[in-house]
Amino acid sequence: MLPNRSRLSVLVFLLPPLLLYGVAVLFPILQSLFLSFFSWNGISDMEFVGFANYVRMLTGDSVFWHSFINALGYLSICLVLQLGGALFVASLLTSLRRGAGIIKTLYLLPAVISTVAIAFLFVRIYSIDPVGLLNQVLGWIGLGGLERPWLSDVNTVLTAVSAPEGWRFTGLYMLIIYAALLAVPQELEEAARLDGANQWQLFTKIRFPYIRPVWITTTIMATTYGLRGFDIPYLMTNGGPGQSSELLTTYMYKTAFTSTDFGYASTISVFIVIECLVAVGLILLMLKRKADA
C-alpha cells in the first residue's frame, strides 16, 4: 500500500500520458464510431443514417468483402514470413559460434529502410519490362516459363505485395525471438540431452515452452501490424489491378480521401478496430489453451 503522497505522485505522472492516450487514440475511435452513423462528404450537411452504413458494408459492398479476404491473405503471408522466418533464423543463430552479429545486422537492415524505398525497390524487382531481378533469376535457372509481371497479374499481386512487408520485419522479430532463445537455461537443455532428447524434442519441449510469453507478444505485434498493413501495398499497386491487392486499410483510405465518403470510411475503420480486437483475443485464447493443455 502506497502512502498518500506516493499515490498522488503516481497519479501526477500517470495522468498526462493517460490524457494524451485518450485524446490521441480513444477520442478518434469514438469519433469514428459517431461518424459511422452519418452520411457526410466533408462539405455537405451531415445526415444521420443510423445503421445504413453498416448494412451497406456487410451486405451490399462487394469491394469491402474482397478487401477483407485480401487482408486475411496478406496477414497470413506476413505471419508466415515474419514469425516462421524469424523463429527459423533465430534457432539457426543460436547454434552459430561466429558471425551471428553480422547475420543479425543483415536481417535487421530492412526494418530501418524507409517504406517508400522498399516499395520502389520491389516494384523494380518484380518488373517484366525492363526485366527485374526476379524474372531475370527465373530465366537464369531455367524457369523462364514462370516469368510474369508479378504486380499486374491478379493471381500473384497479393503475394507480391505481402512479401516485402514480411521480409521487412523478419529481422526485427528474429532479434526478439533470438534474445528469448538465449535466455533458455543451458542446464535445462543439457539435462534434456542427457535424457536422450533429440533436436526437435529439445525445441518443442524445452525451448518453445520457455519462450512462449515472448512468442505471444511477438504474434500479437505481427498480427496487429499485418492487419494495419497499408503503406507498401498502397505505394506498390494502389490496391490494383482492380481490387486484387486492395486491403481494408487502403479501401478505407480511398473511401475517405478519394470518394470523400467520410461516414462510410468511418464505418470501415470501426470494423478494422473490431477486427484487430477479435484477432488478438483469438490469439490469446488459443495460446492460453495450449499452455494449459
Partner 1 sequence: MKKLMRTAAVAAAVTLALAACGSGGGNPAANVSPTGEIKPRQISWLLSRPADGAVINIMKKVADEYAQTHPGFSLNLITTPDRPSYIQKYETLAAANKLPELFDTDATPFAQQLAKKGTMVDAEKLLKDLGVYDTYRTNALNYQRFDDGSLYMIPFQFELEYFWYNKALFQQAGVSVPKSLDDIPAMCTALRKAGITPLALDGQDQWPLERYVSYQPFRDAGPDFVQKLKKGDAKFSDATGQRTVNWISQLGGASCFQDGFSSQGYSDAQNLFTSGKAAMYNIGTWELPSLATDKLNPAVRSDVDYFTLPATPTSATAANEYVATSGIGMAVNSSTFDPLVKDFLKFALAKYPSEYAATGALSPTTNVQTTIPANATPLYKKAIDQAQDLGTKLAMPWDTQLDPTTNSRLQQELVLLAQGNVKPAEFTSTMDSTIAQNAPKFFK
Question: Coil, helix or strand for 39?
Answer: strand
Beta carbons within 8 Å of 105's beta carbon, 6+ residues apart:
none
Residue 16: asked if its preceding bond is cis (omega within 30°), the reply is no
Minimum distance from CB of 61 to partner 1 (Å)? 10
Q: Which residues bind partner 1 (CB under 8 A)?
A: 21, 24-26, 28-29, 31-32, 35, 41-45, 63, 123, 126-129, 148-149, 151-152, 154, 220-221, 224, 227-228, 230, 236-243, 249, 252-262, 265-266, 269-270, 272-273, 276-277, 280
From residue 132, alpha-carbon distances to 123, 240, 279 in Å are: 8, 19, 36
Element (H, E) at 123: helix 115-126
SS3 198: coil
Task: For the CB of residue 74, give the shortest distance to partner 1 in the complex, in Å.
Answer: 15
Rounded to a whole number of angstroms, the minimum distance from the CB of residue 45 to partner 1 is 7
Judged by beta carbon, residue 36 or residue 170, the one nearer partner 1 is 36
Whichever of 89 and 180 has its CB closer to partner 1, that residue is 180
Q: How far is the CB of 51 from partner 1 (least distance, A)?
A: 18
Cβ proximity to partner 1, 67 vs 170, nearer residue: 67
**Closest CB to partner 1 among residues 82, 243:** 243
Between residues 89 and 151, which has the closer beta carbon with respect to partner 1? 151
Rounded alpha-carbon distances, angstroms, from residue 68 to 1, 160, 239: 48, 17, 12
The residues with which 39 forms a beta bridge, in sequence order, are 47
Which residue's CB is nearer to partner 1, number 72 or number 197?
72
94 neighbors 178 (Cβ within 8 angstroms): yes
Q: Cell match 456487410: residue? A: 58
Write down the H helix ranges in the chain.
4-21, 27-35, 52-59, 62-79, 85-94, 100-112, 115-126, 133-140, 157-182, 186-194, 199-201, 208-227, 231-236, 248-257, 262-292
Residue 226 Cβ vs partner 1, minimum distance, rounded to whole Å: 10
> In the numeric block, which cell numbers belong to residue 219?
504474434
In the complex, what is the shortest distance from the CB of residue 200 to partner 1, in angstroms, rounded to a whole number? Answer: 32
Write down the least CB distance from residue 8 to partner 1, Å. Answer: 24
In the complex with partner 1, the residue whose CB is nearer, 63 or 100, is: 63
